[in-house]
Amino acid sequence: MAGIGFELRELLRRDSLWGLVRAYAYAGIISSGPWVLSILGVMGIGLLSVGPVPALEVRQFLVSVTYLMAGSLILTGALQLTFTRFIADRLFEKAEGSVLPNLIGALTLTVAAAGALGTLTFLLLWSRASALGSLGPGPWAGGGTVVFRLLLVVTLAALSACWITVVLLSGLKEYRRVMGSFLGGYLVSFGAALALRPFGLSGLLGGFLLGQLLLLFLMLALVVARYPSDRLLSFDFLDRRRAYLSLSATGLLYNFGIWADKLIFWFTPSTSEPVLGPLRASIIYDLPIFLAYLSIVPGMAVFLVRVETDFAEAYDRFFEAVRGGETLAEIRRRRDRLTLAVRRGVGEIFKIQGITVLVLLLAGPRLLDYVGISRLHLQLFSIDLVGVAMQVLMLAVFNVLFYLDERRAVLGLAAAFVAINVVLTIASQQAGPAFYGYGFSLSTTVTSIAGLLITSRKLDRLEMNTFMRAGSTA
Amino acid sequence: MSGSAENAQRRLPRLAPGESADVGLLLEGTYPYVSGGVSSWVHEIITGLPDLSFGVIFLGASPESYGEIRYQLPRNLVHLETHYLMSEPGTSRPIGGGGADADADDADADTFAVADDDGGEGKVRPRRRALSSALAEMIRLHDAFKAPEGGLDPRHLDAASALGGPGGISLREFLSEDEIWARLCNEYDARCPTTSFLDYFWTVRTMHRPLFTLAELARRAPGFRLVHAVSTGYAGFLGALLQRQRGCPFIVTEHGIYTKERKIDLARAAWIRDEETPGDGSLGQELGYLRRLWIRFFEGLGRAAYASARPVVSLYEGNRARQIEDGAAREHTRVIPNGIDITRFAALRAARPAIPPPVLGLVGRVVPIKDIKTFVRAMRTVVAEIPDAQGWIVGPDDEDPRYADECRALARSLGLERAVRFLGFRPAEEVLPQLGLGVLTSISEALPLFVLESFAAGVPVVATDVGSCRALVEGGDAVDRARGVAGAIAPFAAPEALARAAVELLRDPARWRRAAAAAVARVEALYTRDQMFTEYRALYRAAFEEAASHGRDRLRAS
């Protein structure tokens, strides 16, 4: 396996504008493809169903899927990072055989947790919501049929299983295969949902689920083929001596942080409305932010290219120097090069995403008109553009800190991210509609800047931490 | 310390808190876990002075290097503690890297503290200042270690003594503080900027980590009226720390010269990855920086012990001169030779023949340091002169089988299959009566027991001019010389000269008998075990008295 870094370097080495464009386009596709596909796929199902399916049910479908995405991401957040790290550690030990059984173990655990959580939600919230009569309007106001509720639980489990498999494969740098699986999965989701339109809300969700199951099995097939094993099931990743609690907490906080402002808006009566059972949505808040997320493709592409080429190379060369017994001068030289790679990467994200944000700010009014969204959303859309741009930076910083094994630092940053997002989002609601979105955007901005400062300090002290820390834990 | 070591310790004699012993013996890699010359000597001292109580602090490298206790522990050994200096965290390189140390998040528990340093100024400052002053004091000790020659002011040891304790650098600070790192980098940049930094870092770590253990041991050691280190090195340094901390008398006895032996080890050690130095490969200035660092470290430990001990004891004048050269004050050095149990050998004299039997015996292990080959070559000359002469090599040959094979092959190639016999290990009492001469061809010795035993049995000795051999054969001071010559001295690796000296003695029965008489007279006058016990008893008593008078002075002063 040549690896993504190798492919990107090959493209960049051609030293032509065309090579550069292809490298970034490729990086953009593999880094953003899956979630762009999922946003577009779900939106597409919605758009093409209006008519054959009542508009309210389409809306209920979109909101259901949004909740399922949010729920599954937060739920698996506790496992994503620590599981990826566990697998990386096993591969470092050349224990390839433990990949598959532990993945099966992780999936078993995830599916069980998602199933339990989904069922519990129905038993507690859904029935209470029905009893209180605070239901959404329309024929499905009761919260849907039993079949629909079952579909919700199964889809939550399927999505959760997908995320675990995706983070595993991304950790293994199998971006292309992930992208391919998403393409296949969402094509089926799209086709099946449209075919099942006659069955209304349950049909849309059932079709969507079919595609997600295919996606899951495509990815699983890859793992089975790449990492065969003689064991079926293993829960080693839960072993206290090998698990990283801090990574677990970081994953949970990060994913919760991303959804915190949305959840607050959904469950504040003045900014939301009931859509389906206990599920509420905020028309005013949701559309601009999901639209804004589509703008981060260029930033993600730059991030992937930089991390996988310059940074990864400089990182390897630094640790080779340490382990290979180079002189301190050489170690410091390579540290400087690593710092330079980080600085360059951050600079490029700033530049590229900055330009993207500027263009979109200028084109904002016309863009909203084109998509058919009220210009009332313009201000929120603009601030969200900045917020998601800073989220790319935040992601880049977290990644660098993980490379440097500064797990505690990332945990602190993720906690700060959640705290700022929650506090400022609530404050922004008090301050009025003109301030909506500031909570989220300020939280990503502050966290990114704090993260950059910490990264800078960690890089300054890199050789000290590398030596002194290795020595005191032996 | 590992659990198993602790389990083993439960059975060891142990002083309860508040109890004390008369003499604290500080032993490095010897008694009671290893049998051999120094260990036997320690055992004899403890059993020979039954009216004194002894405690032993044993220092080893790591538990794997030592097995069971090899001695029946004497009743007056009331305390034995065992410590391993190289198995503590921070002395060894972690294996692998990157993701391999999946042990925990706790590992970097202080990462955030580091990141937050700028914030918590108020809390951080006072500790910082304490570290700075502790470090400044430590640098003075380093300068003293680096000073090329001469004694070492024991006051400088306070910094080492405080390690891990109040006012000193803590282990945590040593392992993680910025200032320590900065100091380490500065030293590296100034002294060996082309050495592998990884190797330098771990050399410094491994070198310093045991000092924290030693300082802690010194603070926790039970009450001893005096401490007695039976080497310099770590044991001697622990003695120096105890002396400094408690003001108790401190004695050093060296059988060999620890620092010299360490230097020879270090020059060859494969575990030091040094840059290869092009050149003739000769010892000395060609050594890489890390080896020199280690050598200077052990020299420093030695000088610290020499500067603190009263007295510094050696086995013979030659080693005493070496100790003085290495930093011991002449007035504080003295010689107490090893003694043997004369009665065991005196009985053998009755069986001695009047005419020298033409048998030359070498008692010792078949290893290069004993230079067995020179003995074999010498036998060719002896046999040419005295055709029925025999050469016996008495000692185990399994330590260096290749060398033993070479020796046998040499004997064959010289046509000495019948004249030279490898007898393996035999008790001295069985061999000595049959010998005409004892022969010692070693290239390095201190005070060889074999020579003393030969003398006690009335067997003259022909020996190379190593260690105390000349003093043993020809006599030390004028009084001793008057006792006569107990054999002959030959140069190193000179088989012809050795053979001639032997033949002359064997062919002159009168001279041979005079030599035997001188041998008996000398060993009975100077090298008896009782005499050794008497000298150490006197040494200990003087130290106790001195401590008591110091105590009185202090009481009076207060």
Share the mean pLDDT of chain B: 85
Q: How would residue B413 be classed by pLDDT, with cut points 50, 70 and 90?
A: very high
Least confident interval from A170-179, B115-124, B370-379, B436-445: B115-124
User: Cα(A79)–Cα(A97) distance, rounded to whole angstroms?
Assistant: 20
- State the sign of the Cα–Cα–Cα–Cα dihedral A102, A103, A107, A110: positive
| Contact residues on chain B for A469, CB-CB shorter than 8 A | 107-108, 176
**Phi, psi at residue A227, to the nearest 5°?**
-125, 70
| Contact residues on chain A for B197, CB-CB shorter than 8 A | 322, 325-328, 331
Average pLDDT of the residues in A92-102? 90
pLDDT tens, position by position, B345-383? 999 998 888 899 999 999 988 988 899 999 999 999 999
Count of all residues that appear for chain B in the document: 558
The answer, yes or no, to whether residue A347 has pLDDT greater than 50, is yes
Average pLDDT of the residues in B208-225? 94
B288 touches chain A (CB under 8 A): no
B348 token code pair: 């053998």
**pLDDT the model gives residue A9:** 78
CB A201 within 8 Å of CB A146: no
B254 token code pair: 């060296």
The answer, yes or no, to whether residue A354 has pLDDT greater than 90, is yes
Which H, E and C letters describe chain A, residue by residue?
CCCHHHHHHHHHHCCCHHHHHHHHHHHHHHHHHHHHHHHHHHHHHHHHHECCECHHHHHHHHHHHHHHHHHHHHHHHHHHHHHHHHHHHHHHCCCHHHHHHHHHHHHHHHHHHHHHHHHHHHHHHHHHHHHHCCCCCCCCCCCCCHHHHHHHHHHHHHHHHHHHHHHHHHHCCCHHHHHHHHHHHHHHHHHHHHHCHHHHHHHHHHHHHHHHHHHHHHHHHHHHHHCCCCCCCCCHHHCCCCCCHHHHHHHHHHHHHHHHHHHHHHCCHHHCEEEECCEEECHHHHHHHHHHHHHHHHHHHHHHHHHHHHHHHHHHHHHHHHHCCCCHHHHHHHHHHHHHHHHHHHHHHHHHHHHHHHHHHHHHHHHHHHHCCCHHHHHHHHHHHHHHHHHHHHHHHHHHHHHCCCHHHHHHHHHHHHHHHHHHHHHHHHHCHHHCCHHHHHHHHHHHHHHHHHHHHHHHCHHHHHHHHHHHHC
**A396 closest CA partner among A315, A470, A342:** A342
User: Cα(A349)–Cα(A396) distance, rounded to whole angstroms?
Assistant: 9
pTM for the full predicted model? 0.79
| Contact (CB<8Å) B205/A319 | no
User: Cα(B423)–Cα(B232) distance, rounded to whole angstroms?
Assistant: 36
Least confident interval from A45-54, A165-174, B143-152: B143-152
Average pLDDT of the residues in B57-61? 93
The answer, yes or no, to whether residue A153 has pLDDT greater than 80, is yes
Average pLDDT of the residues in B327-347? 92
**Phi, psi at residue B240, to the nearest 5°?**
-60, -40
**pLDDT the model gives residue B112:** 28
CB B219 within 8 Å of CB B162: no
Predicted-assembly ipTM surpassing the 0.95 threshold? no
User: Cα(B555)–Cα(B558) distance, rounded to whole angstroms?
Assistant: 5
**pLDDT the model gives residue A111:** 96
**pLDDT the model gives residue B275:** 56
**pLDDT the model gives residue B73:** 93
Residue position matching structure tokens 């758009």:
A47
| Contact (CB<8Å) A328/B185 | yes
CB B450 within 8 Å of CB B375: no
User: Cα(B168)–Cα(B439) distance, rounded to whole angstroms?
Assistant: 55
B110 touches chain A (CB under 8 A): no
B541 token code pair: 């008593």
The listed range with the strongest mean pLDDT (A30-44, A116-130, A444-458, B434-448) is A444-458
**A34 closest CA partner among A273, A219, A197, A264:** A219
**pLDDT the model gives residue B90:** 58
The answer, yes or no, to whether residue B514 has pLDDT greater than 70, is yes
To test the contact with chain B by mutation, choose from A323, A328, A461 the residue with the greatest count of B C-beta atoms within 10 A, namely A328
Cβ-defined contacts of A29-32 (< 8 Å, 24+): A29/A179, A30/A4, A30/A175, A30/A176, A30/A178, A30/A179, A30/A304, A31/A175, A31/A300, A31/A301, A31/A303, A31/A304, A32/A296, A32/A297, A32/A300, A32/A301
CB B389 within 8 Å of CB B439: no
Average pLDDT of the residues in B319-332? 93
The answer, yes or no, to whether residue B400 has pLDDT greater than 60, is yes
Helix (H, G, I), strand (E, B) or coil at B355: coil
**Phi, psi at residue A279, to the nearest 5°?**
-75, 130
User: Cα(B463)–Cα(B494) distance, rounded to whole angstroms?
Assistant: 11
User: Cα(A410)–Cα(A398) distance, rounded to whole angstroms?
Assistant: 6
Query: How close B500 gets to chain A, by Cα (Å)?
Result: 56
CB B39 within 8 Å of CB B242: no
* Residue A36 or residue A420, greater confidence: A420
* Paired residues of B461 in beta bridges: B438, B487
Q: In what order do the strands lie in the sheet with B437-440?
A: B420-422, B390-394, B359-363, B437-440, B461-464, B487-490
pLDDT tens, position by position, A208-249? 999 999 999 999 999 999 899 888 899 988 887 767 889 999
| Contact (CB<8Å) A325/B198 | yes
Helix (H, G, I), strand (E, B) or coil at B265: helix
B66 token code pair: 């030592």
| Contact (CB<8Å) B104/A408 | no
The answer, yes or no, to whether residue B307 has pLDDT greater than 50, is yes
Share the mean pLDDT of chain A: 88
| Contact (CB<8Å) B94/A473 | yes
Closest-approach residue (CA) in chain A for B274: A325
Closest-approach residue (CA) in chain B for A463: B181
**What's the distance, CA A59 to chain centroid?**
23
Contacts of B555 (CB under 8 A, 6+ apart): none
To test the contact with chain A by mutation, choose from B111, B175, B191, B204 the residue with the greatest count of A C-beta atoms within 10 A, namely B111
Dmax over CA atoms of chain B, in Å, equals: 93
The answer, yes or no, to whether residue B107 has pLDDT greater than 70, is no
User: Cα(A191)–Cα(A210) distance, rounded to whole angstroms?
Assistant: 10
Contacts of A435 (CB under 8 A, 6+ apart): A427, A428
| Contact residues on chain B for A470, CB-CB shorter than 8 A | 94, 97, 101
Average pLDDT of the residues in B266-292? 64
C-alpha torsion A358→A360→A361→A366, nearest 10: 150
**pLDDT the model gives residue B268:** 74
| Contact residues on chain B for A472, CB-CB shorter than 8 A | 89-90, 172, 175-176
**pLDDT the model gives residue A18:** 79
* Paired residues of B487 in beta bridges: B461
Helix (H, G, I), strand (E, B) or coil at B335: strand
CB B52 within 8 Å of CB B228: no
- Percentages (nearest 5) of helix, strand, coil residues in chain B: 55, 10, 35
User: Cα(B17)–Cα(A406) distance, rounded to whole angstroms?
Assistant: 45
| Contact (CB<8Å) A241/B89 | no
| Contact residues on chain B for A458, CB-CB shorter than 8 A | 115
| Contact residues on chain A for B116, CB-CB shorter than 8 A | none
Query: How close A349 gets to chain B, by Cα (Å)?
Result: 25
**pLDDT the model gives residue B133:** 85
Closest-approach residue (CA) in chain A for B171: A472
User: Cα(A129)–Cα(A123) distance, rounded to whole angstroms?
Assistant: 10
Q: How would residue A411 be classed by pLDDT, with cut points 50, 70 and 90?
A: very high
CB A404 within 8 Å of CB A314: no
The answer, yes or no, to whether residue A368 has pLDDT greater than 60, is yes
To test the contact with chain B by mutation, choose from A239, A405, A408 the residue with the greatest count of B C-beta atoms within 10 A, namely A408
